[in-house]
Homo-oligomer: A and B are copies of this chain.
Amino acid sequence: MVSKYHEELRNEDLSLPFTPMVVIELVSSTKEEAIQWLVKKIRDKKEQGGADLKVTAVSRGQELLDNSSPNLLLVGASKKRLLLGAEETGLVKECKDGSMRAFTCSNRGSFKMLADDGCLFSIAECQYIVKHALDSLRARQEAMVPGYPLIRLYPGKSVLQRLEARGLLTQVFPLHNKDDLKKLAECWYGKLKPTFQPLDDIRHYFGEEIAMYFAFLQYFTLALFPKALVGLLYYLFAWEDYDKYVIFATLNLVWSTVFLEVWKRYSATLAYKWGTLSRQLEFEEPRPAFHGVLGRNPVTGRTEPVYSNVQRSLKIYLVSVPFVLFSLYVSLCIMMVYFEMEFWMQSYSSRRPSPWSGLLLYVPGIAYATVIEIMNRINRFAAEVLTEWENHALESSYQNHFIVKVLVFNFLNCFSSLFYIAFVMQDLKLLRQSLATLLITTQIVSQVIEAFLPYWLQTRNRQRIHKKRRDLPAYRRAPWLEQVELERSMLAYTGTFDDYQELFLLFGYVSFFSCVFPLAAFFAVLNNVTEMYTDAFKMCKDFKRPFLEPAANIGVWQLAFETMSVVALITNCALIGMSPPVRLAYRDAEADLILLVVAVEHALLALKFVLCLVIPDVPREIQTKLARMDFEKLQALKQQRLQQARESLELNGG
């Protein structure tokens, strides 16, 4: 059967018997027998250890297109297989009565169809199901990959993971859907008229994780509006003599707490609507790059590499943590050198004023910015290497350790100079100036780098492929083949990390010191609005389609933002204490002033803590719905248990 299909391919019959959803790319040197084995595995029934999917290999025929000519497998699935897969992966869908339930084939009639095409699942969901099926394709009796005696297999080992770890598999990606994408792009960034983000459509096309990011971006922007308005008023009516900023700091304080509490509730509502809040998490497989001695996983009982936790902890606490501390120390030293230089240049230029010395004044600032940028890159690279070396078994654990490392460093890198100016030099004018410079330059630079550079690369690439295509004989210009060819060379979307990080830093700029630069919120709104357009643009135009990632919240970022809001509370209290009118009132009792500020700060921290405890993270309405689902599950379980118990007791005669 395999060879027959392969024959078909050789005949270059490019009309496919199914819709391709996911593309698997193998390196061009992959041996024929390995490809055949993989195709058979993917196509085999479940009982024979296969994935029960449809698959077609495209290869040898296309040498003309590209010198590297990879082996491509196009994977699709039958409708029946998709239904089965949806139940297996535990997808939660909306019922006709409006409640959210885990999909089951047996009552698939009770679920709502998607509006447009009478299907139960979006294409993103179908691709997710296919991906899941491919990921859970495991070796059975095979001791090795055919043709590669060195690529060992053992029962239960994920096949694609092994191929990827050994470099045979280059990538697995889902295909874009041109019509849907065009429709989405139109309502997303096509009109210049500002509207709400089409969150449900984004989720429909890109999945929950990305939709959650855009929901957060939109929420953040809306939440900034009142602040921006007040800031603008301050600026226009020249209230910016530091006397008035006590009010602004108080506003900041309340804002940053309420902001996060309300977001938690809003994101829970979204996640419920999208079916991710009540979804049972899949068991997490070890990462492909995870290595260790072959042993038994104590949880699953599967044969797997195992790696000592003690050893990993030692690596973390004896190497990674000291390294991060050391690089923090280095960045502080660099900052001190910068201030020294700045001071020296200023005194030099005031001693010998000349056009040259005027220019020299800019040197330290430029040098510092350059060094910071270099340090940022070095550190991110170091964080990646270190976290990889720590050898985390799970992707989530890897991500958390990586994010924490990068964030700690970036936080200090971006804010240390501001903190120094604010609390050591106590120069509020300079603070305002630095804040403005940082805020505006970062915005411009980052948006150019993140959206327009990839677009330029992408356009060039597209033109190159089109040109090549034109030279080919007509029967080879199958439209889907061109699409695959085009998309495989697009950049891969690496996740929401960079986008969240930008917002994270922006949140810091806006809430730490904005009382000395009330326009900060206004610039942040400007930034966010353009960010929405550029991010939407880059998702649709620059990158390969990412697989859907179910997400019920913004994960570790919630914690990161909450930490920032605590820091913001402290800095705002300190800034109020340092403000000229307050200082004037306590002229002869500095100690009393400090004690008062500290007392107020502690009271506010306690209040914040109490608020966090008292405000429920999930709105009551959603809580009730979830509780109802739990109750029903419990009742069903009880019924089942009772039935079983009775049967077993009857059988054994009590």
Listed in ascending order, the chain A residues whose CB lies under 8 Å from chain B are 79-80, 83-84, 87-88, 104-106, 108, 280, 283, 298-301, 309, 570, 590-591, 594-595, 598, 602, 620, 624, 627-628, 631, 634, 638, 641-642, 644-649, 654
Contact = CB atoms under 8 A, between A and B. Distances in A.
Closest 3 pairs (CB-CB, A-B): A105-B645, A106-B648, A590-B591
A632 to B, nearest CB: 9
A631 B84 contact: no
A602 B570 contact: yes
Contacts of A83: 645, 649
7 contacts: A80-B654, A84-B645, A88-B642, A105-B646, A299-B627, A590-B591, A591-B594
A608 to B, nearest CB: 13
A628 B297 CA distance: 10
Contacts of A641: 87-88, 104
Contact of A299 (B301, B309, B628, B647): B628
Q: Chain A contact residues: over half helix, strand or loop, or mixed?
A: helix
A309 B620 contact: yes
Nearest to A624: B298
Contacts of A631: 283, 299-300
Contact of A642 (B87, B570, B598, B638): B87
Contacts of A300: 628, 631
A647 to B, nearest CB: 8
A299 B642 CA distance: 22
A80 B84 CA distance: 40
Given A108-B648, A280-B634, 8 more contacts: A83-B645, A84-B646, A84-B649, A88-B638, A88-B645, A106-B644, A298-B628, A570-B602
A320 B514 CA distance: 38
B598 A106 contact: no
Given A591-B594, A642-B84, A648 B105 contact: yes
A492 to B, nearest CB: 30
A407 to B, nearest CB: 13
A80 B641 CA distance: 15
Contacts of A301: 628
Contacts of A106: 644-645, 647-648
A166 to B, nearest CB: 27
A606 to B, nearest CB: 9
Nearest to A645: B105
A510 to B, nearest CB: 22
B104 A644 contact: yes
A642 B47 CA distance: 12
Contacts of A620: 309
Contacts of A570: 602
A590 B602 CA distance: 20
Contact of A105 (B104, B590, B649): B649
A654 B624 contact: no
A136 B105 CA distance: 34
A649 B283 CA distance: 26
Nearest to A654: B80
Nearest to A602: B570
Contacts of A88: 638, 641-642, 645
A617 to B, nearest CB: 16
Contacts of A654: 79-80
Interface centre among A105, A108, A298, A634 (most CB of B within 10 A): A105
Contacts of A283: 631, 634
A301 B631 CA distance: 10
A648 B105 CA distance: 6
A242 to B, nearest CB: 21
Contacts of A594: 591, 594-595, 598
Nearest to A605: B605
A631 B649 CA distance: 28
A299 B105 contact: no
A104 B648 CA distance: 9
A283 B627 CA distance: 9
Contacts of A298: 624, 628
A645 B104 contact: yes
